[in-house]
Chains A and B, each alone.
Chain A
Amino acid sequence: MSWDSEAKEIAERRRFAEALGGPERIERQHATGRQTIRERLHQMVDPGSFQEVGRLTGSGQYTDGELTSVTPAPYVMGLAKIDGRDVAIGGEDFTVRGGSSWGSDRRKGGQGGFVEDLAFNYRIPLVNLIDGSGGSVSSTSRRGYASLPGIHGFERSCELLGHVPVVSAVLGSAAGGPAGRAILSHMSVMVKGSSHIFAAGPPVVKRSLGQDLTKEELGGSKIAADQAGTIDNVAESEADAFAQVRRFLSYMPQNVWQMPPVIASSDPADRVEEDLLSIVPRDRRKPYNMRKLTSLIADRGSLFEIQPSFGRAVITSLGRMNGKPVGIIANNPMIYGGAMDAAAARKQLHFVDLCDCFHIPIIFLVDVPGFMVGLQAEQNATLREGMRCLHAAMQATVPILTVIIRKCYGMAGMATNDKNGLDLKIAWPSAEWGSLPIEGGVAAAYRRDIESAPDPKAREKELEAQLRSQASPFRTAEAFAIEDIIDPRETRAYLCRFIDAAQGRIATSLGPKPKYGVRP
């Protein structure tokens, strides 16, 4: 007795799954420049590595007890490999009911779905391919009663953030639950022109507030990524979004119990870059290209910037030093002299938390004059956001190395130190520091002295010159108040030496990092 007819039925049912929402819906999806969920999965994961789970899920249609067709559940997921490493991956199928939630016995995807359980139990990264708007009022009519929010809650989604890397690619219009899950991730990316994300879309906004906006105006990448920082990165195409997901995961361990992945580096750890000696102008009013500076220090071609278009006063990049993953936080003197504004503080806080969680050591390349000042900055709660950022740095226990390139002032400067560790701070000869910059600081501290002088302007300049000579970094080095001043060309070798040595320490402190206290 063979099970041949059942095997045929399995094959037939799988064909229904492969057909998604039908040719017409698939064509409509393609017409908007978007791929179907199966095309996306194919493009995202290693060839042939996708092991689908739940391919038979859907609504069967029967005639006289005989199966005629199955409308597949609007979520496709399973186990796959990215760069040879296992991941849990899934996404809404927009061609079936617009990818809205599915009233199955056990959820396949979404918050609390099987795909999250897979990532959680097997301690592997989760990749969300998001293209849906979550719950629909039609489920109320199907159920016959309205359920409370949280019946399928975010508890698992939140717990995952402390255990395994979670990456979300927003590939269509995301609202409601799927939008929420896009945020509950370590890195998110959206596609320019074809993805949108909002708490609620244009029809709800029109009805609630009378604002008549297109999806692009309300939640396109200009708003969601560049202005709001709701989503981290912007991609030019779906293929680019997948490349960014792959790139991000390449720096991440599979989970917080494992070491970040080390690769063999072909870039010599003691490579000397002559340009570093002259990259910082002697005229301290003149900025320079911090991205170039960072790229000269890190392993060649290893940098991947997170949130490049948001909070641009700080540049946060994943990278490698001698093959070991690092997080590099560098101030950008081209944007308000590198002063930390509310957006930059939020960005830096997230990045510190990310690196700390996955045991990726942090390198600060410091050129920060302090918090951003002015009415706009106060209205944006810069002080609070800045102190939250400092609080995150004070809680971080991953090794941190500090290189002071130029300015290191105030509380924003303080947030760049390794207060729970070795606290090794090295400086370039161009470095200067203090509780606040000399200009302005002199006028405030010596006001009476300056006002009573016969030539107040000259007296102010004289005091500034006197203080500046005492502010020489060499005097601080004599007192071992800075651990070292180095020739800028030695930076890479120095940092590689310490990042190499830190690996042993990292290996003995793996695991989750529950944090306590109240972030201000």
Chain B
Amino acid sequence: MAKVEVKAEVTGCVWKVEVAPGQSVGAGDTLVIIESMKMEIPVFTEVAGKVGSILVAEADYVNEGQALVVIET
């Protein structure tokens, strides 16, 4: 089992967390939506697996490159 960190591509504020720990996800699924530059930017997973830990909460400010969710493959 490998752990893959899914990172924010943009700096912004966590608008919504779309998944819960333990949930199964497919490649291309939206995990988190970040509000940045007045846009709702979806953060996708590139790998399929199970959601491990969620490292952020709604309304948190996150930086570009910050890990948001760990996917266990």
14 additional A-B residue pairs with CB within 8 Å, beyond A287-B40, A335-B9: A285-B40, A286-B39, A286-B40, A312-B9, A334-B9, A334-B41, A335-B10, A336-B10, A337-B39, A337-B41, A369-B37, A372-B37, A374-B11, A437-B38
Q: Is A408's beta carbon under 8 Å from chain B? A: no
- Interfacial residues of chain A within 300-335, with CB under 8 A of chain B in the complex: 312, 333-335
The chain B residues found within 8 Å of chain A, CB to CB, are: 9-11, 36-42
CB-contact partner of B36 in A336, A376, A439, under 8 A: A336
Q: Is A231's beta carbon under 8 Å from chain B? A: no
Q: CA of A312 to CA of B9 in the docked complex: distance in angstroms?
A: 10
Q: Is A344's beta carbon under 8 Å from chain B? A: no
Chain B residues within 8 Å of A335, by CB:
9-10, 41
Q: How far is the CB of B43 from chain A (nearest CB, A)?
A: 10
- Interfacial residues of chain A within 364-395, with CB under 8 A of chain B in the complex: 369, 372-374, 376
- Interfacial residues of chain A within 252-302, with CB under 8 A of chain B in the complex: 285-287
Chain B residues within 8 Å of A339, by CB:
37
Q: How far is the CB of A17 from chain B (nearest CB, A)?
A: 47
Q: Please give me the residue from chain A that is nearest to B12 by CB atom.
A: A336
Q: CA of A168 to CA of B37 in the docked complex: distance in angstroms?
A: 36
Q: How far is the CB of A373 from chain B (nearest CB, A)?
A: 8
> 8 pairs across A/B with beta carbons < 8 Å?
A285-B38, A285-B39, A286-B40, A334-B41, A335-B41, A337-B38, A337-B39, A369-B38
Chain B residues within 8 Å of A312, by CB:
9
Q: How far is the CB of A409 from chain B (nearest CB, A)?
A: 11
Q: CA of A372 to CA of B12 in the docked complex: distance in angstroms?
A: 13
Given A334-B9, A336-B10, A287:B38 Cβ within 8 A: no
Q: How far is the CB of A86 from chain B (nearest CB, A)?
A: 42
Chain A residues within 8 Å of B9, by CB:
312, 334-335
Q: How far is the CB of B62 from chain A (nearest CB, A)?
A: 13
Q: Please give me the residue from chain B that is nearest to A370 by CB atom.
A: B37
CB-contact partner of B39 in A287, A372, A374, A376, under 8 A: A287
Q: CA of A285 to CA of B9 in the docked complex: distance in angstroms?
A: 17
Q: CA of A312 to CA of B40 in the docked complex: distance in angstroms?
A: 17
Q: Please give me the residue from chain A that is nearest to B63 by CB atom.
A: A376
Q: Please give me the residue from chain B that is nearest to A334 by CB atom.
A: B41
Q: CA of A372 to CA of B10 in the docked complex: distance in angstroms?
A: 12
Chain B residues within 8 Å of A336, by CB:
10, 36-37, 39
Chain A residues within 8 Å of B37, by CB:
336-337, 339, 369, 372-373
Residue interface mask A352-374, B partner, CB < 8 A = 1: 00000000000000000100111
Q: CA of A334 to CA of B34 in the docked complex: distance in angstroms?
A: 10
Q: How far is the CB of A396 from chain B (nearest CB, A)?
A: 27
Chain A residues within 8 Å of B36, by CB:
336-337
Q: CA of A439 to CA of B11 in the docked complex: distance in angstroms?
A: 20
- Interfacial residues of chain A within 155-176, with CB under 8 A of chain B in the complex: none
Chain B residues within 8 Å of A374, by CB:
11
Q: CA of A376 to CA of B10 in the docked complex: distance in angstroms?
A: 12
Q: CA of A312 to CA of B64 in the docked complex: distance in angstroms?
A: 13
Q: Please give me the residue from chain A that is nearest to B40 by CB atom.
A: A285
Chain A residues within 8 Å of B42, by CB:
287, 334
Q: How far is the CB of B50 from chain A (nearest CB, A)?
A: 25
